[in-house]
Amino acid sequence: MVEPGWLLSPPGRPYLASILHKNQRRVFGLLERPALPPALSVPTLTYKLFVSGRSAVGKTALVATLAGTPVPPTHRETLGTEGTPRGWGVLGGTVGAVGCRGIEVSTLFWPAIPLGSERPVLFQLQFWDCGESALRKFEHLLPACREEADAILLVFSFTDRASFAELPARLARVLQPSEDPLRVVVGTRFDLCPRTAVTEADVAALEDSWGLRVLRVGGGCGVGREGVARVAPLLDALVGQLWQRDQMAAGVSPEGRGSPQD
């Protein structure tokens, strides 16, 4: 649970400036982080998020939009270290440790302030994306993606009903019974109304069954200040869920349903 829209408010402006460069999203190296004056220093929380979904539902475009990097103009299967677009960070140490090609890891920083707190938190999100064909071909990639993952992002497209219908089977396939990461469902292309194959009734039924809120992302990119405003609701919701899960695990926040912004 974080204060929605805080980063775009006057108190959040210094923190917004720290993730921008010439009004564009700043690309951070592996050892870099947003620079803030000592008086505005805040704790950093790092999370690993495994992005999973049917091929061509827009996983790579989703991560690019959230990170504020250019969205690939056409679909391509995620290739990993040899196919990494400029501005994306493949974590050499992490990927090298599992000795694999086929995984792209993109890092973004998102400042937010938890509800009831006076001190912001800098959330560092590491998105692990792996192509479906690579997952099927190399059996060691799936364990590497889900190892110590804090959350799994199950992605479907509102224009592809099969990608929505397979979500329960996908969740069972990518997770082991002993694993309990945060489950986040994201629907892409929800603004393509004439071509929508997944209805609001379908989404509501899934939300009731799984006890979560489905997040949505439409067309457009996350580049520049306008892009930050476009992705802010989704990123606020995402980091809010991660924060809430940590608080519940620590026994600080009572367990219950509802969106992170409720």
pLDDT in tens, 101-118: 578 899 999 999 999 898
Res 227: pLDDT:
87
Q: Please indicate, yes or no, if residue 104 is contained in any of the structural domains.
A: yes
Report how far apart, in Å, the C-alpha atoms of 74 and of each of 54, 138, 200, 217 are: 16, 25, 27, 18
Instruction: Please provide the DSSP assignment of 153-194 as one string.
Output: EEEEETT-HHHHHTHHHHHHHHS-TT--PEEEEEEE-TT-GG
Q: Please indicate, yes or no, if residue 255 is contained in any of the structural domains.
A: no
| pLDDT more than 90, % of the chain | 55
pLDDT higher for 176 or 147? 147
Res 156: pLDDT:
96
Total domains in the fold of the chain: 1
Res 179: pLDDT:
85
Mean pLDDT for the stretch of residues 226-231: 89
Q: Please indicate, yes or no, if residue 222 is contained in any of the structural domains.
A: yes
Q: The tokens 């790092």 sit on which residue? A: 46
Residue type, 151: A
SS3 85: coil
**pLDDT at residue 88 tops 70:** no
Cα separation, 108 vs 48, whole angstroms? 11
Q: Please indicate, yes or no, if residue 17 is contained in any of the structural domains.
A: no
Report how far apart, in Å, the C-alpha atoms of 59 and of each of 39, 113, 185 are: 37, 27, 12
Q: Give backbone dihedrals phi and psi of 251, rounded to 5 degrees, phi first.
A: 75, 20
- In the 8-state DSSP scheme, what is residue 256? -
Q: Can you give the residue range of the structural domain that contains 66?
A: 43-72+79-249
pTM of the model: 0.84
In this structure, are residues 155 and 62 in contact, taking their beta carbons and an 8 Å threshold?
Answer: yes
Q: Please indicate, yes or no, if residue 240 is contained in any of the structural domains.
A: yes
Q: Please indicate, yes or no, if residue 219 is contained in any of the structural domains.
A: yes
**pLDDT at residue 199 tops 70:** yes
Q: How confident is the model at residue 6 (pLDDT cuts 50, 70, 90)?
A: very high
Strands 121-130 and 103-112, sheet pairing: antiparallel
In this structure, are residues 1 and 240 in contact, taking their beta carbons and an 8 Å threshold?
Answer: yes
Q: Please indicate, yes or no, if residue 244 is contained in any of the structural domains.
A: yes
Q: Please indicate, yes or no, if residue 38 is contained in any of the structural domains.
A: no
- In the 8-state DSSP scheme, what is residue 146? H
Q: What angle do CA 185, 189, 191 make, to 5 degrees?
A: 115
Question: What residues contact residue 40 under an 8 Å CB cut-off, 6+ apart?
Answer: 14, 15
pLDDT in tens, 28-78: 877 889 999 999 999 999 999 999 999 889 898 999 999 988 876 655 555
Res 221: pLDDT:
65
pLDDT higher for 190 or 81? 190
Mean pLDDT for the stretch of residues 214-224: 78
pLDDT higher for 153 or 30? 153
Average pLDDT, the chain: 83
Domain CATH for 98 = 3.40.50.300
